Amino acid sequence: MNATPLRALLATLLLGAALPAAAAETRIVATVAMIGDLAREVAGDCAQVDVLMGPGIDPHLYAPRPSDLRLLSDADLVLHVGLGLEGRFGALLARMGPGALAVAEALPEGAVVTGPEGGLDPHLWMDPALWSGTLRPMAEAMAARVPACAAEMDARAETLAAELAALDGWVAASVATIPETARVLVTAHDAFGYFARRYGLKEAALQGFSTEAEASIADIAETASLVINRGVPAVFVETTVNPRAVAALSEAVAAQGGAVALGPELFSDAMGDPATPEGSYIGMIRHNARAIVTALGGTPAPWPEALAPWAVRQGIANGG
Ligand SMILES: [Zn+2]
């Protein structure tokens, strides 16, 4: 963390004087891609955005690598979720003071849900309408580093907010096609509370808000009973969580004389490969919604016109 002053001193000595930072030299670091993708869209050519945690990485258990510390020490602004999502690493980020923004903590009061044990649920990106609320704080924090780009970033944030509103409407219309009794979302860890609340599903997860504590036998047995009693057709594994507990759940359902399908893998705490549509925030939510709706017996709604340009950029005709 002491590298920045040293580097600045060296630069001053070498160049004779500190030069004003050019727009493209402004460096933003995001912990997770759900922030990084939006920040990159808003920043355009005004700043470089790097993401620390790639596909399949669980932020709850994340330990920074030496290369991360280098990126952080060079960053003009660090964007993280906050509310404990980034585990112990988050505490380090919080100490970066005005150089860091916890986007979940910048949302209006009442946005964040408290769990049964009093913990705060950090998985706000699962509700596109809520997550859209991070755009303005992010744009303002970035504009403070590149004031010449303020108007441009503001306009980009507004365009993206309109796209997220269309995405939200599409998810709602899609989930509404699931037969009412099957509107139960069973996942490995409790990452889908905001999705479930927004779109009217009952949510049950084997592990809590964090993946730090393992699912207990009692949790698995209780969820198996719920699956059988409600006739839930499918349960879901996540790309960032060991599938062991969900496999144990389907065995427990079978042992009680029931049957449940294993739905497609969901993107909970990390997005997909950057080269695929799921490597974007809109694509991540689209994938999850399509997987959930289809596995629970519904039919995804037609892809919205407002998101047709996004689909074209991703090489998906008519949203797939
Ligand atoms: Zn999580």
pLDDT in tens, 210-240: 998 889 999 999 999 999 999 999 999 999 9
Between the alpha carbon of residue 150 and those of residues 24, 30, 144, 196, the distances in Å are 14, 19, 8, 35
**CA–centroid distance, residue 194 to ligand 1 (Å):** 12
Within this chain, domains 3-170 and 173-319 share the same CATH topology: yes
Q: Minimum mean pLDDT among 15-19, 31-35, 55-59, 233-237: which range?
A: 15-19
**CA–centroid distance, residue 35 to ligand 1 (Å):** 14
Structure confidence at residue 8 (pLDDT) = 45
**CA–centroid distance, residue 168 to ligand 1 (Å):** 21
| Beta-bridge mates of residue 238 | 266
Instruction: Name the pTM for this structure.
Output: 0.90
Provide the CATH topology of domain 173-319. Rossmann fold (3.40.50)
**CA–centroid distance, residue 29 to ligand 1 (Å):** 20
**CA–centroid distance, residue 306 to ligand 1 (Å):** 30
**CA–centroid distance, residue 106 to ligand 1 (Å):** 19
Structure confidence at residue 33 (pLDDT) = 98
What class does CATH assign to 3-170?
Answer: alpha beta
CA distance 160 to 125: 14
| Residue in this structure with the two tokens 């009680």, named with its chain if needed | 256
Between the alpha carbon of residue 88 and those of residues 93, 210, 215, the distances in Å are 9, 12, 21
| Beta-bridge mates of residue 235 | 262
**CA–centroid distance, residue 121 to ligand 1 (Å):** 9
| Rounded CA Rg of the chain | 21
Tell me: the pLDDT tens digits for 132-182?
A: 999 999 999 999 999 999 999 999 999 999 999 999 999 999 999 999 999
- Please report, for the chain, the start and end positions of each structural domain, with discontinuous segments joined by +: 3-170, 173-319
Average pLDDT, the chain: 91
Between the alpha carbon of residue 230 and those of residues 25, 171, 227, 238, 251, the distances in Å are 55, 23, 5, 22, 17
Closest CA to 131 of 270, 197, 38: 38
**CA–centroid distance, residue 235 to ligand 1 (Å):** 17
**CA–centroid distance, residue 61 to ligand 1 (Å):** 10
Residue 101, classed as helix, strand or coil, is: strand
CB atoms within 10 A of CB 151: 10
Tell me: the pLDDT tens digits for 191-212?
A: 999 999 999 999 999 999 999 8
Long-range contacts of 222-225 (CB under 8 A, 24+ apart): 223/186, 223/249, 223/252, 224/249, 224/252, 224/253, 224/255, 224/256, 224/258, 225/256
**CA–centroid distance, residue 272 to ligand 1 (Å):** 15
**CA–centroid distance, residue 218 to ligand 1 (Å):** 21
**CA–centroid distance, residue 195 to ligand 1 (Å):** 13
| Beta-bridge mates of residue 32 | 53
**CA–centroid distance, residue 207 to ligand 1 (Å):** 9
Residue 81 has pLDDT above 90, yes or no: yes
Residue 108, classed as helix, strand or coil, is: coil
